[in-house]
Amino acid sequence: MSFLPPPRPALPSYVSRRPYTFHIGASWAAKPHDPFDGKRPSIPFPSDGLIGTWRDNMLAWPKKINTKDPGEDFLYVQAGVSVGVADGVGGWTVSGVDPALFSQALMYHAHRYSRNAWAGEPEIDPTLDYEEREQIEGWEMTPLECLDLAYGGVLREKFVQAGSSTACLINLNASSGILRSATLGDSGYSIIRNSSIIHRQRSLTHYFNCPKQLTKLPTNAGRKFAGACIDSPNEADVYETKLRDGDIVVAYTDGFSDNVFPSEMVAICSLVARTSGSENEQVQAMADRMVDFARQCMRSKRVSPFERAAAREGMFFRGGFCLITLP
């Protein structure tokens, strides 16, 4: 697909083949429009521009959920492997700002920067001279460094006049099996091993339902946005662990986690894993089924994870939201 970078030159014969292979599936669906929210401003990136072209190629990902609209969220998938999700803050609609622009630009720049660095350097022969090693080692950019650079890219985007977004970036090292992540806000991910969740990314919030977020204020904003949350990429939560064969990593915005309980996510993965098909087909089926299940949950009258979390804070909310999942 055209949003992926061109293949790197073949590694010299003394470089070992990377022992880890990652299979990626992606799926998404925008939440149904709430008539009480009014009409969301929609001034998309031009389709013939860099971000617009990349966005359209990303939305051409082969999935079975019958919608291309990601709503206010976006994602990127970078061969190497690096992936990310971002949740545009919907509150900007009352100021006439399309929240999707910030999240799309953030993911575009994260994709752009991660493309220019190894997501895990290759194994090398330690007897090589330094100059020879330097030629093939490349530069492994951490998710935190990538998030910081991507945020700077959004601040320089003239088309994005204002907005905010949460973010979760993940690098998967094909040489060592190391997963590294940087997460800001309530987007996140879970690692499933042998039908159990061994790690679930915690949310970073100012208070309930107000996640930490990257923000761009309008020029000459003045007092109008004095209460806006302006957090730094350096406040992101970073994590590192070594993956094992068969581990499943599910990344999502709060549109998924607000509707689907962790045990239900594990059950979907376990059921799909028992079906026939290649590993690529299975992970795509997991992504599609999780998004479809989240949409069903949002339409039901059952108590959602979001409602339970609100009750613990002494608040009452019905339902949750549904947007992106990426295993």
**Residue-wise pLDDT tens digits, 48-88:** 999 999 999 999 999 999 888 999 999 999 876 899 999 99
pLDDT value of residue 35: 55
Instruction: Please check whether residue 108 is in contact with residue 71, taking contact to mean a CB–CB distance below 8 angstroms.
Output: no
> What residues make up the domain containing 107?
50-118+137-313
Percent of the chain with pLDDT over 90: 63
| Phi, psi of 31, rounded to the nearest 5 degrees | -70, 150
Greater confidence, 270 or 1? 270
Tokens of 275: 């079906």
Q: Is residue 30 part of a domain?
A: no
pLDDT value of residue 327: 35
Greater confidence, 33 or 174? 174
Tell me how far apart the alpha carbons of residues 61 and 271 are, in angstroms, rounded to a whole number: 23
pLDDT value of residue 316: 72
Distance from the first to the final alpha carbon of the chain: 19
Across the range 284-311, mean pLDDT stands at 93
pLDDT value of residue 33: 63
What pTM does this model have?
A: 0.86
Determine the residue type at 92.
W
Q: Is residue 258 part of a domain?
A: yes
- Summarised one tens digit per residue, pLDDT across range 245-294 is 999 999 999 999 999 999 999 999 999 999 999 999 999 999 999 999 99
Check whether 117 has a pLDDT greater than 90.
no
Query: In the structure, what pLDDT confidence band is assigned to residue 135 with cuts at 50, 70 and 90?
Result: low
Instruction: Please check whether residue 266 is in contact with residue 195, taking contact to mean a CB–CB distance below 8 angstroms.
Output: yes
Greater confidence, 314 or 155? 155
Q: Is residue 11 part of a domain?
A: no
Q: Is residue 25 part of a domain?
A: no
Across the range 16-26, mean pLDDT stands at 83
Number of separate domains in the chain: 1
Q: Residue 220, by phi and psi: left (phi above 0), alpha (psi -120 to 50) or beta? A: left
Nearest CA-CA partner of 271 in 249, 252, 286? 286
Check whether 313 has a pLDDT greater than 50.
yes
Q: What is the CATH number of the domain that holds 167?
A: 3.60.40.10
Check whether 128 has a pLDDT greater than 70.
no
Q: Is residue 57 part of a domain?
A: yes
Query: In the structure, what pLDDT confidence band is assigned to residue 229 with cuts at 50, 70 and 90?
Result: confident
User: Minimum mean pLDDT among 25-39, 94-108, 162-176, 273-287: which range?
Assistant: 25-39
Across the range 222-227, mean pLDDT stands at 65
The H-assigned helical ranges of the chain are 50-59, 99-115, 130-137, 143-156, 254-257, 262-273, 279-299, 305-312
Check whether 324 has a pLDDT greater than 60.
no
Tell me how far apart the alpha carbons of residues 129 and 111 are, in angstroms, rounded to a whole number: 32
pLDDT value of residue 301: 86
Tell me how far apart the alpha carbons of residues 10 and 106 are, in angstroms, rounded to a whole number: 31
pLDDT value of residue 96: 87
pLDDT value of residue 170: 96
Check whether 126 has a pLDDT greater than 60.
no
pLDDT value of residue 15: 40
Q: Tell me what the pLDDT averaged over the chain comes to.
A: 85
pLDDT value of residue 315: 83
How is residue 177 annotated by DSSP?
-
pLDDT value of residue 132: 54
Q: Is residue 216 part of a domain?
A: yes
pLDDT value of residue 18: 72
pLDDT value of residue 138: 53
Q: Is residue 91 part of a domain?
A: yes
Instruction: Please check whether residue 240 is in contact with residue 179, taking contact to mean a CB–CB distance below 8 angstroms.
Output: yes
Q: Is residue 36 part of a domain?
A: no
